[in-house]
């Protein structure tokens, strides 16, 4: 009987996750969060359940709670790269740079293709007065994600603080010509975990 109950709880968690992903696709954030909270209660060990809840919280700017969920996902699956990236970014958003920096440097050493890692390193380096390193990281982020207006705005801000007005204006102009940033859907994020690019 206990085995059947456990199997039923796992099925409920999977159904809640699928429902949460669908609600997120329909841009019903509050309902998606509710489904993921139910999934966590049903089975806190379900793969990606904490990542999904954390990502939904992250998209809403609830950084501290998101960081907690990403940390819980890493306890379930220490290999979840997206959970590591978004945990570090949550710390950057909370201005906890000392907590974020080791993880970001580790991620960057393993794979240079994560624009969010480069952006966050740029923010941390700028905060530490390492402006040339910060600009280098923002340029690497833009190479990986050239259509991201936020990266060009960060670079404009950095150039302006260094007195490089022409470069700042050029980056600001690029940002104005780009569409507003769009976060990948939760489904896209979970798919990228389950089916990483070769």
Spacing of C-alpha 168 from chain mean position: 26
Q: How far apart are CA 102 and CA 28, in angstroms?
A: 35
37 within 8 A of 53, measured Cβ to Cβ: yes
Same domain (yes/no): 88, 121 = no
Answer yes or no: do 90 and 6 share one domain.
Answer: yes
- At residue 136, the pLDDT reads 94
Asked whether residue 62 falls in the same domain as residue 109, the answer is no
Instruction: Decide: 145 and 113 in contact? Cβ < 8 Å.
Output: no
Which residues form the domain of 52?
1-94
Gap between the terminal Cα atoms of the chain: 42
Q: What pLDDT is stored for residue 133 in this prediction? A: 94
**Residue 190 within a domain:** no
Could you tell me if 66 and 103 lie in one domain? Answer: no
Q: What is the pLDDT of residue 36?
A: 93
Give how far Cα 198 sits from Cα of 10, 97, 132, Å.
30, 31, 32
Which residue, 40, 59, 94, sits at the end of a domain? 94
Residue 120: closest CA among 180, 175, 58, 166: 58
As to burial, measured by CB atoms within 10 angstroms (0-12 exposed, 13-18 middle, 19+ buried), residue 182 is: exposed
Using CB atoms within 10 Å of the CB of residue 111, give its burial: 0 to 12 exposed, 13 to 18 middle, 19+ buried.
exposed
Predicted confidence at residue 2, as pLDDT, reads: 52
Maximum distance among all Cα pairs of the chain, rounded to whole angstroms? 71
How far apart CA 91 and CA 70 sit, in angstroms, is: 11
Distance separating alpha carbons of residues 45 and 23, to the nearest angstrom: 22
106-to-84, 111, 112 alpha-carbon distances in Å: 10, 9, 10
Q: Per residue of the chain (198 residues), what is the pLDDT tens digit?
A: 555 544 555 678 888 888 888 898 899 999 999 999 999 999 999 999 999 999 999 999 999 999 999 999 999 999 999 999 999 999 999 999 999 999 999 999 988 889 999 999 999 999 999 999 999 999 999 998 888 898 999 899 889 988 999 999 999 999 999 887 777 777 888 777 665 554
């Amino acid at each position: 009987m206990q085995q059947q109950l456990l199997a039923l709880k796992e099925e409920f968690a999977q159904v809640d996750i699928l429902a949460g992903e669908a609600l997120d696709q329909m841009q019903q954030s509050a309902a998606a969060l509710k489904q993921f909270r139910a999934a966590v209660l049903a089975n806190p060990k379900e793969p990606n359940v904490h990542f999904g809840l954390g990502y939904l919280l992250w998209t809403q700017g609830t950084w501290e709670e998101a960081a907690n969920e990403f940390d819980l996902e890493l306890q379930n699956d220490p290999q979840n790269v997206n959970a590591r990236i978004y945990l570090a970014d949550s710390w950057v958003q909370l201005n906890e740079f000392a907590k974020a920096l080791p993880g970001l440097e580790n991620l960057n050493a393993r794979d240079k293709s994560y624009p969010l890692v480069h952006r966050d390193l740029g923010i941390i380096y700028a905060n530490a007065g390492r402006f040339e390193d910060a600009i280098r990281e923002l340029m690497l982020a833009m190479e990986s994600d050239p259509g991201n207006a936020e990266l060009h705005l960060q670079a404009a801000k950095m150039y302006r603080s260094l007195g490089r007005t022409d470069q700042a204006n050029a980056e600001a102009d690029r940002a104005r010509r780009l569409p507003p940033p769009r976060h990948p859907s939760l489904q896209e994020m979970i798919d990228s975990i389950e089916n990483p690019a070769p």
